[in-house]
Chain A
Amino acid sequence: MSVMPAPALSFLNAWLVRPWMKPLLWAVCAVPAVALLIGAVVGSLGANPAEKLIRETGEWALRWLWLTLAITPLRELASLPALVRFRRTLGVTTFVYAVLHLLSYAGFDKGWVLDDIVRDVFKRNFILVGMLGFVVMLPLALTSFNAAVRALGGRRWQWLHRLTYVVAMLGLLHFYLKKAAKNDTDEVLVYAVILAVLFGWRVMRRGGILAMWRVR
């Protein structure tokens, strides 16, 4: 579905299609990771840098995912069709931060001991849920190249990438289960409300929860 931008926004839309916008977005996406890396090297991540890295990479993965899901509503509500160019960039960024999150957990918390990690996954719900979320992301990450989109065909590709909704729900549940242990769920609620709005908009527009998953 193509939406013509409102005259006032066509200027912004024209900027968004500039070729350098994508590299710029990649650079912006790298900022939190680079800041954390610098913090780790100079030792400015506080008393427990390992915990800080695990938490921040995880929370950033959620933030990028929420932004990815905000692209479609934003582009229709603000009549900025050009925004769609950035959706895949944000999705891949989400995956990269999820990989960093998993690596920092495996390295800093589990000392790379695979046995311990496997035992952790099956013993603890929140680790299991997080790991499931990561596994569901894999086929999405692996089909994020132009060649993969062509090979699958647009409809099938879109259908597969509806799994993003599943990843979002698993990510939110993972975050909730972690925070609930210390009764510290205010922040989780903020993420939940934003996700509910992003999902709610899709349900409203398509006329039903099931229709939200349909590819047109």
Chain B
Amino acid sequence: LPATRSAVPGALVMDKPTSYEDITSYNNFYEFGTDKGDPAEHAHTLKPRPWSVLVDGEVGKPQRLTLEDLMRAAPMEERIYRLRCVEGWSMVIPWIGFSLSALAGRVEPTSRAKYVSFYTLADAKQMPGVQSRVLDWPYVESLRIDEAMHPLTLLAFGLYGEVLPNQNGAPVRLVVPWKYGFKSAKSIVRIQFTEKPATPSWVKANPQEYGFYSNVNPRVDHPRWSQATERRIGEGGLFAPRKPTLMFNGYEAQVGQLYAGLDLKKNY
């Protein structure tokens, strides 16, 4: 998948990228099972082509885009992002895609569009995990419109120069690098602009433990574990100390102003 290096500020971190092997074998993608190895093992049943994405809601031009149309919406860029999972581990991933905001020009959101929601495919024939009741399917995530239109918010189609492997959310997924990984919906079939936020799947499942924002924040612990540190996958062997987690996953300079005046302890 050809791409040029991104010029968006903060889009190319200096950290050493995690190996392709680790990125594609250690995944949370409950549609294929709850074990980290399940997606790599079971996601071959997903058919990422043909694919289309419905973009609707508070937009002037609602439309169903084929994957090919969607991929032509803007030039492909390579971006190297840190990914911090809410479980306390992290990776560094060279994604390929473009800013979600590039799509806005095509669909023309109205003034009532305050939030953007993302829906993952939920087809039991392709996704064995959808039969389990761990979550209320389909998987839903939601962002405030200013978060969604931030240049770092990425629609990703590939990683390491290749099209996305199924277990990483083929053929198109979201990547919001300053939020915990689960905010970044995979295998997206619908992007909906709305006046009110949709309730994200994890908030619905466990509102005491997961909030709408889910910004990476070392000072706000998950009720069951500390978020102050993280284990960088593939780095330094078994006895390597955990690394300190950075505010907004290290993207504070780029996104901090989105949350000016907001109590991040309450709005976790």
Bound-state Cα–Cα, A120 to B225, Å: 8
Residue contacts A-B, CB under 8 angstroms, 22 given: A40-B238, A46-B25, A46-B26, A46-B36, A47-B21, A47-B25, A47-B36, A48-B233, A50-B231, A51-B89, A53-B238, A111-B242, A120-B226, A126-B224, A178-B224, A181-B209, A182-B34, A182-B87, A183-B134, A184-B34, A186-B34, A186-B134
CB atoms of A124 and B225 under 8 A apart? yes
CB atoms of A108 and B89 under 8 A apart? no
- In the complex, whether A177 has a CB less than 8 A from a CB of chain B is yes
CB atoms of A48 and B36 under 8 A apart? yes
Binding site for A on B (CB under 8 A): 21-22, 25-26, 34, 36-37, 87, 89, 132, 134-135, 205-206, 209, 221-226, 231, 233-234, 238-239, 241-242
The 3 closest A-B pairs by CB, nearest first: A47-B26, A47-B22, A184-B34
Nearest B residue (CB) for A50 = B238
- In the complex, whether A5 has a CB less than 8 A from a CB of chain B is no
CB < 8 Å: which of B25, B87, B238 contacts A49? Answer: B238
CB atoms of A48 and B89 under 8 A apart? yes
Given contacts A108-B238, A125-B224, 7 further A-B contacts (CB under 8 A): A51-B89, A107-B239, A111-B241, A123-B221, A124-B223, A177-B224, A183-B205
Bound-state Cα–Cα, A183 to B132, Å: 11
CB distance from B160 to the nearest CB of A (A): 15
CB distance from A129 to the nearest CB of B (A): 12
Which DSSP category, helix, strand, loop or mixed, fits chain B's interface? loop
Q: Which range holds the interface residue count of chain A?
A: 20 to 34
Contacts of A126 in B (CB 8 A): 224
Binding site for B on A (CB under 8 A): 40, 46-51, 53, 107-109, 111, 120, 123-126, 177-178, 181-184, 186
CB atoms of B206 and A181 under 8 A apart? yes
Bound-state Cα–Cα, A132 to B221, Å: 23
Bound-state Cα–Cα, A46 to B239, Å: 15
Bound-state Cα–Cα, A108 to B238, Å: 7
Contacts of B238 in A (CB 8 A): 40, 49-50, 53, 108
Nearest A residue (CB) for B234 = A47
CB distance from A5 to the nearest CB of B (A): 41
CB distance from A79 to the nearest CB of B (A): 39
Nearest B residue (CB) for A179 = B34
Contacts of B226 in A (CB 8 A): 120
Contacts of B22 in A (CB 8 A): 47
Contacts of B231 in A (CB 8 A): 48, 50-51
Bound-state Cα–Cα, A108 to B87, Å: 15
Nearest B residue (CB) for A178 = B224
CB distance from A37 to the nearest CB of B (A): 11
Contacts of A51 in B (CB 8 A): 89, 231
Nearest A residue (CB) for B37 = A46
